[in-house]
Amino acid sequence: MSFEQKRRALITGASRGIGKATALAFTKAGIDVALVSRSLDELAAVAAATQHTGATAKVYAVDLAEVSQVEAKMQAIALDFGDIDILVNNAGIGYTATLSQTPLVDWQKVMDLNLTSVFQCIQGILPGMRTRLTGTIINVASIAAKQAFPNWGAYCVSKAGLLALSQTLAQEERAHGIRVTTIFPGSVNTSLWDTETVHADFDRSQMLTPEIVAQSILHTALLPPQAVIEELILMPSGGAL
């Protein structure tokens, strides 16, 4: 595929936060997007915001927590939307608790959404990329993959697992023309901090914005095919919060 050809991206967690900002950045750059999230109404609002760009945005309601169904649903999206050139695995859940106080059911929920669903998204989209000998997979991890934080144990482990998944995938797939990037944002001012599974009191005004992270994702995706950013750490200038 030449650098100038029209590209299609699939973005998970696209209804808000980093995923929404990435969808807007991609469509402004002329990249068609398949938007995936649980909320069809929120996705529709994101798609409506892209209408002036000239790029295509199509919405797909998928609950990535239902990991046994994810691979088949990704395959169905690719069949309906068209060959996926860029896969952005952004969906995830925040979770705070000491390891000693983390119930197994909560641990499994975090692993399913932050790690296993990514694995299944990749398995759904990867065969098409291998057939075409081209593709870019961008996994949004967290600085918590590299730096452990107390009371964030399950989250840190899930993101460290995502790093290992990305590194292994990159080794296995580069011979097939597939690039793999892992992005490690520090604290980002998103609705994650308002969810019932996160209990933390930080100064959100000092955090990264979703738009800043989205621009880094776009930059990675737009690199010529003979180059790859394998790992990108993006921190607030004030440091980890």
At 41-68, the pLDDT tens digits run 999 999 999 999 999 999 999 999 999 9
Query: Is 239 within the bounds of a domain?
Result: no
Q: Which of 26, 95, 152, 155 is catalytic?
A: 155
Query: Is 120 within the bounds of a domain?
Result: yes
Answer yes or no: 155 catalytic. Answer: yes
Range of the domain at 177: 8-234
Confidence (pLDDT) at 240: 56
Query: Is 182 within the bounds of a domain?
Result: yes
H or E element at residue 70: helix 67-81
Count the domains in the chain.
1
Query: Is 3 within the bounds of a domain?
Result: no
CATH number at residue 70: 3.40.50.720
Query: Is 153 within the bounds of a domain?
Result: yes
Query: Is 241 within the bounds of a domain?
Result: no
Q: Using an 8 Å Cβ cutoff, are 163 and 120 in contact?
A: no
Mean model confidence pLDDT for the chain? 92
Burial 13-47 (b: 16+ CB within 10 A, else e): bbbbbbbbbbbbbbbeeebbbbbbbeeeebbeebb
At 186-196, the pLDDT tens digits run 877 766 646 66
Query: Is 158 within the bounds of a domain?
Result: yes
Query: Is 77 within the bounds of a domain?
Result: yes
